[in-house]
Amino acid sequence: MNYNFFSPQQICFGWDRFQEVGPLATSLGKRALIIGGSRSLESNGVIEELKRLLLRSNIESEFVRTISNEPEVADVDQTTNLLHHLGAGAGDFLIGIGGGSGIDLAKACAAMITNWESDTVLDYLEGVGKGLQLKQAPLPLLAIPTTAGTGSEATKNAVISSYSPAFKKSLRADEMIPNLVLCDPKLACSVPPEITARTGMDAITQLLESYISCRAQPIPQALCLQGLKLALPALAEAVEDGSSRNARESMAHAALLSGIALANSGLGMAHGVAPALGIHCRISHGLACAVMLPATLKTNLSVRQKEYAEITRFIAPERSFTEAEAAQYLIEHIETLNDRINIPRNLSSLGVTQAQIPDLVASSRGNSMSGNPRELSDAELTQILEDLL
Ligand code: NAD
């Protein structure tokens, strides 16, 4: 056995622990620069409450900007410029609050503000621009997730989009893992059912893909089993009753575990194709993962039957199955869950056309696809996508 394991330095998890943000943040710096949020977090007073709680611990704060879309190159460059105008530097720390979009924007800016060799994040993204490396440590970062999905609060990358030219790539460095995570599941109670469903399926996809990845590791695998046992029964309840404490806690914890798992083990086909569906077809990340997950499980069944059966036996120990039956049960369980929470079974219902498939295949070859347990040729991936139309 031979592995490295990365995770945030400190994770504070619990219902209503948002109230503790002031004392927790004092170790990070004297001034907080807040990035992320969403219209609903602003309108329901969460951002004002954050500033008030920080001030109570003598931490000054500035709300730098909100973001309502998945972050693009220009969002990172403009926000980093705003931080420069605010004189961001020693003694300051960033707070990334929101879903994956808000946290990723904060993560990218925390890194860009201390690395100023180029004035655009483009030059640091994997496989595009000048291929510059981050040399300086980012500013300290506190991540406060408000959707239960991406696990970005525990990962070492920020996903950045561009529509022209079309790509979705990561800014990545081990030092980009947030220093402190404050995960209060209560914050997700305002997430509407449709977004709860999509972001929740992103977490479930991450847990499954990390477990079966060709870079799978023992600690993440243990976390994945725990996360799946929590998330699989909880997601439909969180969608149908957004105020359920039990369901929101289970989903927030599962999403956090999924982030730790993916940061160490990588992902697979669903997360390989999802950025392509985001860029070429404007499909949100969670929805793209959810639609791709059953096909991903079927595609990898021939090389991961044992692992699927391990998962089934962990989540449903009362049932007696052969290995093949247990593996099949997992696939059917995911399809049934998708149906229950209104995730479509095919891509054409999301507006994807045959003519887009060559671009989708070409744009699916990122870091996530390299974790898929089976290598997929362009012809095979084309066939998989055509079968999903
Ligand atoms: P998101 O952050 O875009 O949020 C979805 C919507 O929910 C937004 O409209 C947002 O404003 C709203 N929202 C957020 N919190 C809310 C709340 N508490 N109440 C009401 N509304 C709320 O969606 P996401 O799925 O969390 O993040 C997607 C992004 O994360 C994508 O760009 C994806 O590629 C990226 N991602 C990053 C990682 C990583 O490791 N860095 C991993 C997976 C995905």
Q: What is the ipTM of this complex?
A: 0.99
Distance 309 CA to ligand 1 centre (A): 31
**How far is the C-alpha of 16 from the C-alpha of 183, rounded, in Å?**
9
Average pLDDT over residues 46-54: 97
Distance 303 CA to ligand 1 centre (A): 32
Domain presence at residue 208: yes
> Considering only CA atoms, which residue is closest to atom 12 of ligand 1?
38
Considering the domain architecture, whether residues 125 and 211 belong to the same structural domain is answered as no
Q: Which amino acid is at 39?
A: R
Tokens, residue 122: 């483009």
Domain presence at residue 240: yes
Looking at 154, 187, 220, the residue that finishes a domain is 187
Domain presence at residue 1: no
**Which pLDDT tens digit goes with each residue over 290-322?**
999 999 999 999 999 999 999 999 999 998 999
Q: Above 90 in pLDDT, residue 128?
A: no
pLDDT of residue 276: 98
Q: Above 90 in pLDDT, residue 284?
A: yes
Place of tokens 């060709």: 214
Task: Please report which residue ranges of 144-268 form alpha helices under DSSP H.
Answer: 193-212, 218-240, 245-265
**How far is the C-alpha of 262 from the C-alpha of 208, rounded, in Å?**
10
> Considering only CA atoms, which residue is closest to atom 35 of ligand 1?
100
Question: Residue 31 forms beta bridges with which residues?
Answer: 60, 92
pLDDT of residue 127: 82
DSSP state of 219: H
Considering the domain architecture, whether residues 322 and 375 belong to the same structural domain is answered as yes
**Which pLDDT tens digit goes with each residue over 138-181?**
999 999 999 999 999 999 999 999 999 999 999 999 999 999 99
Looking at 152, 187, 222, the residue that finishes a domain is 187
Ligand 1 site-directed mutation target among 35, 150, 251, most atoms within 8 Å of CB: 150
From the list 109, 185, 106, the residue with the least C-alpha distance to 145 is 185
Domain presence at residue 4: no
> Considering only CA atoms, which residue is closest to atom 39 of ligand 1?
152
pLDDT of residue 161: 95
pLDDT of residue 42: 86
Considering the domain architecture, whether residues 173 and 241 belong to the same structural domain is answered as no
- For residue 129, name the pLDDT band (cuts at 50, 70, 90): confident
Considering the domain architecture, whether residues 118 and 219 belong to the same structural domain is answered as no
Ligand 1 atom with minimal separation from the 101 CA: 2
Question: What Rg value do the Cα atoms of the chain yield, rounded?
Answer: 20
Considering the domain architecture, whether residues 133 and 45 belong to the same structural domain is answered as yes
**Which pLDDT tens digit goes with each residue over 336-360?**
999 999 999 999 999 999 999 999 9
pLDDT of residue 117: 85
Looking at 164, 187, 210, the residue that finishes a domain is 187
Tokens, residue 128: 């595009």
Q: Above 90 in pLDDT, residue 116?
A: no
Question: Residue 159 forms beta bridges with which residues?
Answer: 170
**Which pLDDT tens digit goes with each residue over 23-43?**
999 999 999 999 998 788 888
Distance 1 CA to ligand 1 centre (A): 35
**How far is the C-alpha of 218 from the C-alpha of 3, rounded, in Å?**
9
Q: Which domain holds residue 328?
A: 192-387
Domain presence at residue 5: no
Distance 158 CA to ligand 1 centre (A): 12
- For residue 126, name the pLDDT band (cuts at 50, 70, 90): confident
**Which pLDDT tens digit goes with each residue over 191-234?**
999 999 999 999 999 999 999 999 999 999 999 999 999 999 99
pLDDT of residue 43: 87
- For residue 96, name the pLDDT band (cuts at 50, 70, 90): very high
CATH assignment of the domain containing 308? 1.20.1090.10
Considering the domain architecture, whether residues 29 and 73 belong to the same structural domain is answered as yes
Tokens, residue 344: 């479509």
Domain count, the chain: 2
Q: Regarding beta strands 31-36 and 92-98, do their DSSP bridges make them parallel or antiparallel, or are they unpaired?
A: parallel
Considering the domain architecture, whether residues 95 and 210 belong to the same structural domain is answered as no
Distance 191 CA to ligand 1 centre (A): 10
Beginning with the edge strand found earlier in the chain, give each strand of the sheet holding 92-98 in spatial order: 10-13, 180-183, 141-145, 92-98, 31-36, 60-65
Tokens, residue 289: 């993962």
CB 1 within 8 A of CB 31: no
**How far is the C-alpha of 201 from the C-alpha of 195, rounded, in Å?**
10
Considering the domain architecture, whether residues 53 and 149 belong to the same structural domain is answered as yes
CB 19 within 8 A of CB 57: no
Considering the domain architecture, whether residues 229 and 179 belong to the same structural domain is answered as no
Asked if residue 140 has a cis previous peptide bond (ω within 30° of 0), the answer is no
> Considering only CA atoms, which residue is closest to atom 32 of ligand 1?
70
Query: What number of other Cβ atoms are within 10 A of residue 351's Cβ?
Result: 10
Question: Residue 92 forms beta bridges with which residues?
Answer: 31
Domain presence at residue 380: yes
Considering the domain architecture, whether residues 212 and 115 belong to the same structural domain is answered as no
Domain presence at residue 3: no
Ligand 1 atom with minimal separation from the 286 CA: 25
Maximal CA-CA distance, the chain: 63
Domain presence at residue 284: yes
Considering the domain architecture, whether residues 29 and 154 belong to the same structural domain is answered as yes
**Which pLDDT tens digit goes with each residue over 230-257?**
999 999 999 999 999 999 999 999 999 9
Distance 252 CA to ligand 1 centre (A): 13
Considering the domain architecture, whether residues 170 and 243 belong to the same structural domain is answered as no
**How far is the C-alpha of 35 from the C-alpha of 37, rounded, in Å?**
7
